[in-house]
Amino acid sequence: MSQIFDIVVIGAGPAGANAALTAAWAGCRVAMVDEQRKPGGQVWRAKNPVVLEAPTTPESRSGDALRQEVACSTVLTFAQSRVWQIESAASGWEIYVLKEGKVVTLVAKALILATGAREYVQPVPGWTTPGVIGLAGATAMFKQDLALPGQRTVVSGTGPLVFFVASEIRRLGGEVAAVVTPNSKREWLRAFPAMVRRPDLLVRGALWVADLYLAGVPIYWRHAVAEIDGETDVSGVTIRRLTRDWAPDGEPEFLGADSLCLGNGLTPAAEAAQLAGLELRYRADLGGWCPEVDASGETEREGLFLCGDGAGIRGAAAAEIHGKLTGETASAYVRGVAPGENHLLQQAYQRAARFGMAMTALSVPRKGLQTLMCADTVVCRCESLTRSDIVAEINAGAQSTLSVKSGLRAGMGPCGGKFCQGTISQLIAQAKGGEVSDVPPPTARPPLRPIPVAALAGDFEYDDLPIPKPAPL
Amino acid sequence: MTIVYDIAVVGGGIMGCAAALEMAAGGMRPIVLEQSDIGQGASGVNAGTLSLQIKRVKLMPYALKGHHAWARMGAAVGFKKTGGFTLAFTEREAELLTERQTLKAKAGAPIEFVSTKRLRNVEPNLAQKVVAASYCAEDGYANSSLTGQYFRGRLCDEAIEYQERCQILAIDRGASYQLTTSRGVIYAKRLLLAAGAWIKTAAALLDVHLPVDARINTVSVTERMPALISSVIGHATGLLTMKQKANGTVLVGGGWQGRGRPQEGRGQVMASSVMPNIALAQFAMPGLSKARILRSWTGFEANVPDFYPLAGALPGFDDAFVLGCVRGGYTIGPYIGQLMGDFILGREPELPLFDPGRDFDEDML
Ligand SMILES: Cc1cc2nc3c(=O)[nH]c(=O)nc-3n(C[C@H](O)[C@H](O)[C@H](O)COP(=O)(O)OP(=O)(O)OC[C@H]3O[C@@H](n4cnc5c(N)ncnc54)[C@H](O)[C@@H]3O)c2cc1C
C-alpha cells in the first residue's frame, strides 16, 4: 500500500520546509517527512507544549512563522516519521517510512533530501561521562524544553555555536563557568569580510559575545577541554592552550563545573544521499564528506534534489534560501518545464552561503585536536571501543573504514557509525600518513534508523510467502 | 630488479586467501591482489552459516572437510559448533524436508529427524507451529565479518605479500604474466583467478568467457538481545537462516534478493525482500518482534549454470587457474582453496576438482 506524490521532501528544517512550501505553491502534491513532532528542524525546533508560554527568540519566531505557513499549505506533513529506506524504481522514488510502528511507503516523481547536519564531537578523555552533551544537543534542550544542562556549565567548541549556547544558558538563568574555544580572536577577525554581507547575523553574534564579556564570563581563546573529571558525573574540566594546529601544549588548568557542552562543528548527514545513489567527496570547506549539488539543488541523479546543510554546511540562512531554490527546480522538473532563473534569490543565497562557509571554516577541527585522545579514550560508544582498539586494528592491516567496521563492529551498533566514523577516518589517515580525504566513510545501508522487527513484519501472512524453486540438490 | 612471483592470486576472498596459504606452505611465492579490502567481498558479508543441511548432496564430502577446517580456525573467526535445526511449517514443506535431508544423510552428513517435542526442549523460543524438523550436530556458524582480519593476519604470519585497493586493469602474456594494476605492474609465472562474482570480468581480460551469474543475497542484523536461540536455524524452503551470535545480535538471511551488479558497487538492499525475510524470522521466533534491525546489506554470490564450483585450469591455459562460484562457498572455501593450492603445486588433490572447461549443460559428476 503506497501513497503517491509529485515530490517527497525528507527533512522539515529551514531547507526542507521551504522547498516543500515552494513546490506546493507551484501546484505540486508534496509530502514532507520528519522525525520531529513539528517542522522547524534543529535550528527552528518547536517548543514542547508545557513551555509554550516562554518568551520568544529569533529562532522560535522564524520556526513559528514557518510552521504557520506549512499548516496553511497543501503540504502533507508526516511528523514523528522516520525514513529508513530509499529506492529508485521505474515509477519514481520509493520512500519507506516508519510511522506509529508501521511501515508506510511513499512514491514520488522527485525526491528532495534536506537531512541537515550532525555535530562532530572530538573524543577526549571522559567525554562519555554523564553531564557532557553536544553543543547542538544543548540547543535542542533549550528550544524544546527550556532545560539547562546543569547549574554551572563549561561551554567548549569551535565556531559561533559556543557563543550562542553560552548566551542561551545565561538567558535561561544558568551559570556559564567559562567559554573555551580552539579559535583565536584573529581567526574571527579574518572571517569578518565574509560576515559583513549579512550584518543581521553579524550583530546577533556580536551581542552574544558582548553579553558574555559584560557578565565577566571568562573566554579562553585557542584553548580546548583536554579532560573531563568525575566518575559518575562531571565535577570539572581540565583545559589546555593549543598550538596553531590545535594540538595541546599549554599547562593544564582546572575549571570547576557540573556540566559541559562540547562540539566541534557540523558535518553533513549524507547517508540518505548515499542510499539514493550519490557519491560523496571530501570538502573540508563544507564540513566533510558531501554529495555534489549545485545552487539550484540539482544532483547528478535524475529526479533527485538536495538542499541545506546535507549538501554541505552553509548554515540556516543559506539553507532557507537553498530550500526555496530547490523547491523551484524540483517543481519545474515535475511539471516538465525549464526552471526559471531567480537572480535575486541566487544572489541572496550566495551571500548567506559565504557567511555560512566562513563559520564552517572556523568550526572544522584542525589535525592537532585529535591528539587530545588518549589510548583508553572511547571512540565508538555503541561497542565501547577505545582509540587503542582501533589503532591496533589499523596496525594489523585494516586500511579502510570498512575493514575497521568488519573487524571490530565499529559502526554496527545502534548509531550506525554516525558518531565514530569521522574519528576512525582520522586515525586511519594518521597511521597511513595520508589525509582524511583518502579515507571515505563505509557503504551506507538501510535502515537509516533502527527499525523494529514487528514494524518490518507488518501483517505478514505465512501463506503469502513466495516459495522459490528449491535449490539444486 | 623486478620480482616475478610464482603466482599472482587475483581476489582476496576466502578462496584466494586459502589457496595462497596452501601454495606458500608448499614452497611457492604468491602475491594476493585485491581490488578493495581483503575479505570484503562475499566472504566478508555472508551469513556465516556452516550447515550441512543446505549443502548439495555431491558436495557433502567437501562440506564436511570444510567444517573441520573452520573448527581448526576456531575462535579467531568466531566459529561455533551449535548444531542446527531445519524447520517445516506445512505438510508440503515437511515432505520437501524429508526427501532432501534423507538424500544428504545418505551422502554422509550426520542429519537426523527430530520430534517437535525435542525441538521445543532445545529451543523453547521457536514458534509452536513447527510440524517437522531435521537436526545436524555438525552445524554451526562463523563470523564472516572477521574473514578480512583473520586472513590478513594469516598472510602476514606466513610472509605472503598482498596488495589492497589494487585493481587488475589488464593482463598480458609474455615470458611471464604481466598484470597492469591500479597500483603498478606485477609479474608472475602463474595466475589464479579467485575473483568471486567478478570472475567473469577477470577471465575476460584473458579473452576467456565463463558463464558466471551473480545472485544478490541479503542479510540483516538486530541489536543485542537476551538469549533467544542457541542453534543455527534453517527453513525447509531455504528462505530463512537465523542464528544468535555470542554478542547477542541475531543474524537473519535466507537468500532474499537485492539488486545491482558486481561491476557497480556493493549492491542495493530492497525493502520488498527485507520485509518478508524479517517477517518469516519473526514467524519462526516470535520473541524477535521486540528487536530492532540495525543494518541490512547485500553481497554477490556467484554461480555457473550447473551450480557446481569452478576449480581447475582456465580453459586453454596450463599456467592460469580459476577458483570460485561455490554456492555456500564460505563453508567449503577453506577446504577447496587448499585442494586448488595442491593442484597448482603439482600434487594430487585429496578430492577431485571441478574442471572450468566442462560442458555446463550436463551434470558432470
Ligand atoms: C549475502 C551472502 C550470504 C551468504 N551466506 C552463506 C552462508 O551462510 N554460508 C556459506 O557457506 N556461504 C554463504 N554465501 C556464499 C559465500 O559467501 C561465497 O560462496 C564465498 O564467500 C565466495 O568466496 P570467494 O573468495 O570466491 O569470493 P569473494 O569473497 O567475493 O572474493 C573475491 C574477491 O575478489 C576481488 N576481486 C574481484 N575482481 C578483482 C580484480 N579484477 N582485481 C582484484 N581483485 C578482484 C573482490 O574484491 C573480492 O574480494 C553467502 C554469500 C552471500 C553474498
- Tell me: the pLDDT tens digits for B120-131? 999 999 999 999
- Binning pLDDT at 50, 70 and 90, where does residue B15 land? very high
Lookup: cell for A316: 540556516
Q: What count of residues does chain A have?
A: 473
Which H or E run includes B197? none
| Architecture of the CATH domain B81-142+213-303 | 2-Layer Sandwich (3.30)
Contacts of B103 in chain A (CB under 8 A): 473
Give the closest residue to A468 by CA, choosing from B196, B217, B365, B244: B217
Q: What average pLDDT does the segment A180-200 reach?
A: 93
Asked whether the beta carbons of residue A468 and residue B293 sit closer than 8 angstroms, the reply is no
DSSP letter at B14 equals H
Interface contact A453-B291, CB threshold 8 A: yes
> Which CATH homologous superfamily contains domain B4-43+145-210+306-363?
FAD/NAD(P)-binding domain (3.50.50.60)
Distance CA B48, CA B81 (A): 12
pLDDT of residue B364: 53
- What pLDDT band is residue A53 in, cutting at 50, 70 and 90? confident
Give, in degrees to the nearest 5, the angle at Cα A290 between A347 and A246.
Answer: 95
Shortest distance between the Cα of A465 and any Cα of chain B, in A, equals 7
- Taking only the tens place, the pLDDT of each residue in B19-72 is 999 999 999 999 999 999 999 999 999 999 999 999 999 999 999 999 999 999
- Choice among A44-58, B4-18, B307-321 with the minimum mean pLDDT: A44-58
Rounded Cα distance between A319 and B263, Å, is: 36
* B contacts of A428 (beta carbons < 8 Å): none
Taking the Cβ of residue A454 and every Cβ of chain B, the question of whether any pair is shorter than 8 Å is answered with yes
d(CA A409, CA A383): 7
CA dihedral B279, B285, B290, B294 (to 10 degrees): -60
CB B344 within 8 A of CB B355: no
Q: Residue A456: which of B266, B268, B293 has the nearest Cβ?
A: B293
From A85, A397, A460, residue closest to B271, measured CB to CB: A85
pLDDT bin (cut points 50, 70, 90) of residue A1 is: low
CA of B47 to the centre of ligand 1 (A): 11
CB A429 within 8 A of CB A466: no
Q: What integer pLDDT is reported at residue A322 of this predicted model? A: 98
A455 Cβ partners below 8 Å, 6+ apart? A98, A101, A102, A103
What residues of B are in contact with residue A466 (Cβ under 8 Å)? 276
- Per-residue burial over B292-302, b = 16 or more CB atoms within 10 Å of its CB, e = otherwise: bbbbbbbbbbb
Among B298, B215, B342, B302, CA closest to B13: B302
Using a CB-CB cut-off of 8 Å, the residues of chain A touching B44 are 406
Dist CA A23 CA B196 (whole Å): 47
Rounded to the nearest integer, the mean pLDDT of chain A is 94
Helix (H) or strand (E) holding B47: none
Residues B364, B358 contacting (CB under 8 angstroms): yes
Q: Choose which residue among B50, B53, B54, B198 to substitute to test ligand 1 binding: the one with the highest number of ligand atoms within 8 A of its C-beta.
A: B198
The cell numbers describing B86, all together, are 531445519
Our CA angle for A269, A271, A275, nearest 5°, is: 150
d(CA B64, CA B52): 7
DSSP bridge partners of A224: A240
- How far away is chain A from the Cα of B206, in angstroms, using its nearest Cα? 30
pLDDT-wise least confident of A178-187, A335-344, B145-154, B276-285: A335-344
Say if the Cβ atoms of B57 and A396 lie within 8 Å. Answer: no
Q: Is any Cβ of chain B less than 8 angstroms from the Cβ of A336?
A: no
What is the CB < 6 Å shell around ligand 1?
B 10-16, 33-36, 40-43, 45-49, 167-168, 194-198, 202, 217, 219, 253, 299-301, 324, 326, 328-331, 333
Taking 90 as the threshold, does the pLDDT of residue A58 lie above it? no
Per-residue pLDDT tens for B246-284? 999 999 999 999 999 998 889 999 999 999 999 999 999
Distances from the Cα of B280 to the Cα of A459, B224, B234, B253, angstroms: 11, 19, 11, 10
Residues in B touching A396 (Cβ below 8 Å): 149, 152-153, 156
Question: Are residues B39 and B169 in contact, defined by beta-carbon separation less than 8 angstroms?
Answer: no
Q: Which of B17, B43, B79 to mutate to test the pocket of ligand 1 (most atoms within 8 A of CB)?
A: B43
Q: Is the pLDDT of residue B191 over 70?
A: yes
CB A272 within 8 A of CB A86: yes
Under an 8 A CB cutoff, do A406 and B148 touch?
A: yes
Q: What contacts A173, CB < 8 A, 6 or more positions away? A: A148
- Residue A42 pLDDT more than 90? no
Q: Is B33 on the interface with A (CB under 8 A)?
A: no
- Rounded Cα–Cα distance for residues A324 and A335 (Å): 17
Measured in degrees and rounded to the nearest 5, phi and psi for residue B292 equal -115, 140
pLDDT at B365 over 60: no
Cell of B25: 606452505
A-chain residues near B146 (CB < 8 A): 406-407
Q: Does B164 touch chain A if contact means CB atoms closer than 8 Å?
A: yes
Q: What is the SS3 assignment for B94?
A: helix
- Which pLDDT belongs to residue A54? 76
Hey, is the C-beta of A389 within 8 angstroms of any chain B C-beta? Answer: no
If pLDDT is split at 50, 70 and 90, which confidence band does A143 have? confident
Percent share of chain A, pLDDT over 70: 100
For residue B126, what is the DSSP state? S
Residue in chain A nearest B102 by alpha carbon? A473
Interval A385-444: pLDDT, tens: 999 999 999 999 999 999 999 999 999 988 888 889 999 999 999 999 999 999 999 999
**B327 contacts chain A (CB < 8 A):** yes
Instruction: Please give the Cα distance from B271 to B258 (Å, whole number).
Output: 9
Instruction: Give me the pLDDT at residue B180, please.
Output: 97
Which of A411, A286, A285, A428 has the alpha carbon at shortest distance from A370? A428
Sorted by where each starts, the structural domains of chain A and their CATH numbers stand as 2-118+267-360 (3.50.50.60), 121-264 (3.50.50.60), 373-438 (1.10.10)
**Separation CA A206–CA A189 (nearest Å):** 12
Q: For residue B44, what is the nearest residue in chain A, using CA coordinates?
A: A406
- Chain A residues inside the 8 Å CB shell of B278: 453, 456-457
**Mean pLDDT confidence for A45-52:** 77
CB neighbours of residue B216 within 10 Å: 23
Count of pairs with CB atoms under 8 A, one residue in A, one in B = 152
For residue A470, pLDDT beyond 90: no
Are the C-beta atoms of B222 and B249 separated by less than 8 Å? yes
Residues 177-206 of B with CB under 8 A from A: none
List, in sequence order, every residue forming a beta bridge with B299; answer none if it has no partner: B217
Lowest average pLDDT, out of A43-52, A334-343, A390-399, B166-175, goes to: A43-52
Strand (E) positions, chain B? 4-10, 30-33, 49-50, 80-81, 84-88, 111-114, 132-136, 140-141, 161-163, 168-173, 177-181, 184-193, 213-222, 232-235, 241-244, 250-253, 292-303, 310-313, 320-324
CB of A321 closer than 8 Å to CB of A346:
no
Question: Strands A117-119 and A266-268: what pairing?
Answer: antiparallel
Q: Residue window 283-312, chain B: list those with CB within 8 Å of chain A.
A: 283, 288-297, 307
Could you tell me if A304 and A279 are in contact, meaning their C-beta atoms sit under 8 angstroms apart?
no
pLDDT per residue over A105-131, tens digit each? 999 999 999 999 999 999 999 999 999
Report the 10 Å Cβ neighbour count for A101.
9
Rounded-to-integer distance, Cα A38 and Cα A417, Å? 27
- Rounded Cα gap, residues B282 and B232, in angstroms: 15
What is the 3 state secondary structure string of chain A? Answer: CEEEEEEEEECCCHHHHHHHHHHHHCCCCEEEECCCCCCCCCCCCCCCHHHCCCCCCHHHHHHHHHHHHHHHCCCEEECCEEEEEEEEECCEEEEEEEECCEEEEEEEEEEEECCCEEECCCCCCCCCCCCEEEHHHHHHHHHHHCCCCCCEEEEEECCCHHHHHHHHHHHCCCEEEEEEECCCHHHHHHHHHHHCCCHHHHHHHHHHHHHHHHCCCCEEECEEEEEEECCCCCCEEEEEEECCCCCECCCCEEEECCEEEEECCEEECCHHHHHCCCCEEEEHHHCEEEECCCCCCECCCCCEEECHHHHCCCHHHHHHHHHHHHHHHHHHHHHCCCCCCCHHHHHHHHHHHHHHHHHHHHHCCCHHHHHHCCCCCEEECCCCEEHHHHHHHHHCCCCCHHHHHHHHCCCCCCCCCCCCHHHHHHHHHHHHCCCHHHCCCCCCCCCCCCEEHHHHHCCCCHHHCCCCCCCCC
Output the pLDDT for position B70: 97
- Residues 6 or more apart whose Cβ sits within 8 Å of residue B54: A471, B86, B234, B238, B241, B328
> Is A434 at the interface with chain B, CB within 8 A?
no
Residue with cell 554496527: A412
Cis preceding linkage at B124, omega within 30: no
Give the span between the Cα atoms of A149 and A128, in whole angstroms. Answer: 15
C-alpha A284 – ligand 1 centre gap (Å): 35
Q: In chain B, which residues have their Cβ closer than 8 Å to the Cβ of A416?
A: 294-295
With cut-offs at 50, 70 and 90, classify the pLDDT of residue A332.
very high
Which residues in chain A are closer than 8 Å to B101, comparing Cβ atoms? none
| Cβ within 8 Å, pair B239-A465 | yes
Mutation probe of ligand 1 site: the residue of B46, B145, B146, B256 with most atoms within 8 A of C-beta? B46
Return the closest-CA partner of residue A278 out of A248, A302, A247: A302
Q: Does residue A452 sit at the B interface (CB-CB below 8 Å)? A: yes
> What tens digit of pLDDT does each residue of B197-231 get?
999 999 999 999 999 999 999 999 999 999 999 99
- For cell 545513489, the residue is A277
User: How big is chain B by its Cα radius of gyration, in Å?
Assistant: 21
Cβ separation A398–B37 shorter than 8 A: yes
Of residues A87, A458, A471, nearest to B238 (C-beta): A471
CA atoms of B9 and B321, how far apart (whole Å): 9
Q: Which helix (H) or strand (E) holds B212?
A: none
Smallest Cβ distance to A406: which of B44, B57, B279?
B44
The residue extents of the domains of chain B are: 4-43+145-210+306-363, 81-142+213-303
Q: Which residue in B40, B237, B283 is closest to A402 by CB distance?
A: B40
Centroid of ligand 1 to alpha carbon of B64 (angstroms): 20
Smallest CA-to-CA distance from A126 within A388, A382, A413, A376 is with A376
What percent helix, strand, coil does chain B show, rounded to 5?
A: 35, 30, 40
Q: How far is the CA of B41 from the centre of ligand 1 (A)?
A: 5
In three-state secondary structure terms, B247 is: coil
A245 burial type by CB count under 10 A (0-12 exposed, 13-18 middle, 19+ buried) = exposed
